[in-house]
Chain A
């Protein structure tokens, strides 16, 4: 076209970014890659696969499929390097992380182009978002390494971390995983996704340039089988980002092994538009929500919920905006939507859209060769439509409507996922009411897809657990310095079955604020150390678990009560317990055959006071993100926590578990000490007289091994803890995979319940979820 013609048409024309340097780098590497193990690249393996540019199908390089032996070698290299790396100290490690950050910055364009070639995302995104954010993560965590010894006293590296990352943000996910791990003194074995290994391999080259000690970063490539081998390997932690389906398998595969796990999984994030929103900005936000990276984003705002009165106008404006989206060569600087990562994914998206019962809109984007899928809007769907529930992972926005803020929240939360959410309103009351009530790890007010290393990111429900970024992200890469002692099993006392009590007192279960007989109608005789019968404890069964969870779910008002009120209730429990100090002390001594009853009761009263004190002091905070916004890291209750209480210290153990949970606004289903249950059944009388709303605390007695799987598998339980001496840790972790609830188990270790180990931040962390609420502002 001549200049004169373009002067009339005012078309954009092509604006390609050169791929020359990136392609030259691949050729320099021989276009075939081995693994990066112990500071060097291995020779390309015999089993290799091709890594292709999805935009045009051209093969970029051959990647090696790691054998289990190679995975083991990588883990061994990481294992060998770990003590030295941790021993280097925070400031020593910080220097390397700064060096990596600077190298990423120096080679920014090479990384961006290589990422776009490999993944198909528009060069604008890799250049302006992925690579700068990856740099930011290394800078931020260099600072965390520098501060670790002073700011995280008593925390130590986990050891060797196996990290498995997806293909949608290859380098950025590497940075999210590698930077905090290294900062805290861990070494890593990383497996990039098989479709997108190239920037990880370039990063390996950077590790060499930075002089990173051998074995600190190891990269093995290949498909899911390599990931599975890494999960099976001798690692201390698995960090996984990817699909909920694979995440669940990893949860099951790691169950009972005593290794740490964080999962960042799928989502179907709601995008709520209130009638008082800035409509045009909300529409523009959708471009960044669902058409960013072609919608191949776990936290993509993929479920559009618009207030009914403005829906028609909103959808029509949205369709007009979609007409302006440009799809094509990802290396073109004037492109909004690049290629879908692989033909398999594209076909999957097409099948899902085909199956829809809604009205599908796709702008005419002209003929595009290669692996592309056009931006798509599906309107007229209801919450019951499969596409409103199922993650599509493509440029497909599904839409429904709501009438009121309350209904918006209900529909938004009507999902198995809980990763992210957006809410658009110009009314601060509306926005700040809705944001905290959305079940999501991240909420953006009047925005979408904002990320920063200082702000935690991660999900709830089947979107996984654990946070990446911020201080909370470091918890996932550290453990207490002091290793826990193994716990001894405690057997109940045996004895005769005569009825010695003058006046019988029937111990019951405590469910929904009422004493309840066990569903099965069975009880177990409880004897003292001399074999004398002291009472019967009900044997709860799965139906009692069901009833208790239902009661706990119903007591949701507790989570909305003010922290001050919750503290008052805890103090009240403490007072009432103190008033019956002697009686409880005697009971404990009789039950356990010891003489520490009084000390235990006094420690219990003290613990209640401690968590009464904490209730309104375990604050969230505000994070320094690099934009004009408040990023609130809010501490929210998990919801319903199921907990198996410790067997020793029948009163203190139960209170040590209950008090932090309810102080933070959770409701609990407690399974009392198995050998010594009667302290717990006495204790519900204290609860009854202490203004504890029904359903906030529910107490079951019975067999830990029998109740653990039911409680752990219950889909309406949000977190499960076990301090039982019974060997239930593995069973619990496995059963927790059902709804991917958080679990906190002992793996056979004990805890000093009378000491400092018996309370504090570990319990408060476990009792809360960090929700990051982004509120950009500006008059």
Chain B
């Protein structure tokens, strides 16, 4: 009898993952591999079963829960993407990103200096945000390429990226052309993503798939692969403007694609679910999903972000409950 044994399943974060540098090894992309793309198949029922049973299989309590929730905060792209955004509104958001949790609570938890992962705004608000976050190390992400529909002329979309990078955005959240997915134009999608990636220069690029508009989970898997092959540093579910945003089944499909991509290329691509995640409990479930399917390296802002605006408030209340033992109220925590 021959026995192979794997020891130590948990393992802390490997050293090669820099904790302080927000931008690690980037995904250079690869040639479009259509065989691989077309081999991707997703069984919706099985994926939904996995997603629905996960919250019952994993549970974190007490100190662990507090720590996980703090980790969730560190992964939040605190976001405002509204037509009525003003510099004042954005400065308030940035202040919250610097101080996401009341100081006394952070001290009680021993997590002084905790910040959100990034601030995410429209192009016009980049300069305000960069100024407001100066010295904090918090990157500014800008949505781009005719967000949210992505239907403006291609050259304008590319120019918009270039303008945003020039304005100081360290991360660009692009939207893909959904019609290319729906029509099976994978080459077109690849070329588009390649162009966006090139326009980003040193800024990291997150590809928003708008999964709520892609029709099937198999399309989600294929679009994920194509965008990674074209060099996306992150893949992201939604703009927050579709009728269905991030869901666990969609997340499962996307992170499994990320896992396959790492298997094949050795490159770790990040994941960002966005929209619809507003409860602390949901955040824990997402983190557990990431831990289970991708592993601990992804439980860091370098490889995982929540695109969320109201999630933080619920987490703050849970953290105060952890510290004091009493259930909290929203007005006890600073608004963003």
Chain A positions near chain B (C-beta within 8 angstroms)? 1-15, 124, 127-128, 276-278, 280-282, 284-285, 319, 323-324, 333-334, 336, 353-357, 359-366, 424, 426, 446-447, 628-629, 776-779
Which residue of the partner chain A has the closest CB to B63? A3
- Alpha-carbon distance between A237 and B8 when the two chains are bound, in angstroms: 52
Chain B residues 48 to 94 lying within 8 A of chain A, measured CB to CB, are 48-50, 53, 56-64, 66-68, 70-71
- Closest chain A CB from B3 CB (angstroms): 5
B6 cross-chain contacts in A, Cβ below 8 A:
319, 323, 361-364
A3 touches B46 (CB 8 A): no
Which residue of the partner chain B has the closest CB to A427? B41
A364 touches B7 (CB 8 A): yes
Using A15-B60, A281-B50, A362-B3 as known contacts, say yes or no to A7 and B71 having CB atoms under 8 A apart.
Answer: yes
- Closest chain B CB from A522 CB (angstroms): 56
B299 cross-chain contacts in A, Cβ below 8 A:
10
A2 cross-chain contacts in B, Cβ below 8 A:
63, 110
Chain B residues 222 to 267 lying within 8 A of chain A, measured CB to CB, are 256
- Alpha-carbon distance between A333 and B65 when the two chains are bound, in angstroms: 14
Partner of A10 from the list B5, B7, B109, B291 (CB cut-off 8 Å) is B291
B66 touches A3 (CB 8 A): yes
Binds A, one of B9-17, B193-201, B271-279, B327-335: B9-17
B12 cross-chain contacts in A, Cβ below 8 A:
8-9
- Alpha-carbon distance between A8 and B4 when the two chains are bound, in angstroms: 29
- Closest chain B CB from A91 CB (angstroms): 36
B292 touches A324 (CB 8 A): yes
17 further interface pairs, Cβ-Cβ under 8 Å (given A128-B53, A361-B5): A4-B111, A6-B63, A6-B68, A10-B68, A13-B61, A281-B47, A323-B9, A336-B57, A355-B1, A356-B1, A362-B3, A362-B4, A364-B5, A446-B45, A446-B46, A447-B46, A778-B45
A356 cross-chain contacts in B, Cβ below 8 A:
1
Chain B residues 127 to 156 lying within 8 A of chain A, measured CB to CB, are none
Which residue of the partner chain A has the closest CB to B8? A364
- Closest chain B CB from A289 CB (angstroms): 12
Using A8-B13, A11-B10, A364-B6 as known contacts, say yes or no to A426 and B61 having CB atoms under 8 A apart.
Answer: no
Using A363-B6, A364-B8, A446-B46 as known contacts, say yes or no to A13 and B60 having CB atoms under 8 A apart.
Answer: yes
Interface centre among A8, A128, A285 (most CB of B within 10 A): A8
A280 cross-chain contacts in B, Cβ below 8 A:
256
A124 touches B56 (CB 8 A): yes
- Closest chain B CB from A456 CB (angstroms): 21
Which residue of the partner chain A has the closest CB to B50? A284
B45 touches A447 (CB 8 A): yes
B45 cross-chain contacts in A, Cβ below 8 A:
446-447, 628-629, 776-778
A7 cross-chain contacts in B, Cβ below 8 A:
67, 70-71, 111
- Alpha-carbon distance between A8 and B12 when the two chains are bound, in angstroms: 8
A12 cross-chain contacts in B, Cβ below 8 A:
58-60, 64
B9 cross-chain contacts in A, Cβ below 8 A:
323-324, 363-366
Taken residue by residue from 188 to 227, chain B's Cβ proximity to chain A (1 for < 8 Å, 0 otherwise) reads as 0000000000000000000000000000100000000000
A426 cross-chain contacts in B, Cβ below 8 A:
41, 43
A278 touches B67 (CB 8 A): no
Asked whether B35 is an interface residue with its Cβ less than 8 Å from the other chain, the reply is: no
- Alpha-carbon distance between A348 and B56 when the two chains are bound, in angstroms: 31
Asked whether B37 is an interface residue with its Cβ less than 8 Å from the other chain, the reply is: no
- Alpha-carbon distance between A11 and B65 when the two chains are bound, in angstroms: 10
Chain B residues 275 to 306 lying within 8 A of chain A, measured CB to CB, are 287, 291-292, 296, 299
* The 7 residue pairs across chains A and B that have the minimum distance between CB atoms: A13-B64, A778-B44, A281-B46, A6-B67, A364-B7, A776-B45, A278-B43
Taken residue by residue from 1 to 35, chain B's Cβ proximity to chain A (1 for < 8 Å, 0 otherwise) reads as 11111111110110000000000000000000000
- Alpha-carbon distance between A127 and B57 when the two chains are bound, in angstroms: 11
- Alpha-carbon distance between A333 and B71 when the two chains are bound, in angstroms: 21
B110 touches A4 (CB 8 A): yes
Asked whether B95 is an interface residue with its Cβ less than 8 Å from the other chain, the reply is: no
A779 cross-chain contacts in B, Cβ below 8 A:
44, 216
Partner of A124 from the list B57, B60, B61, B109 (CB cut-off 8 Å) is B57
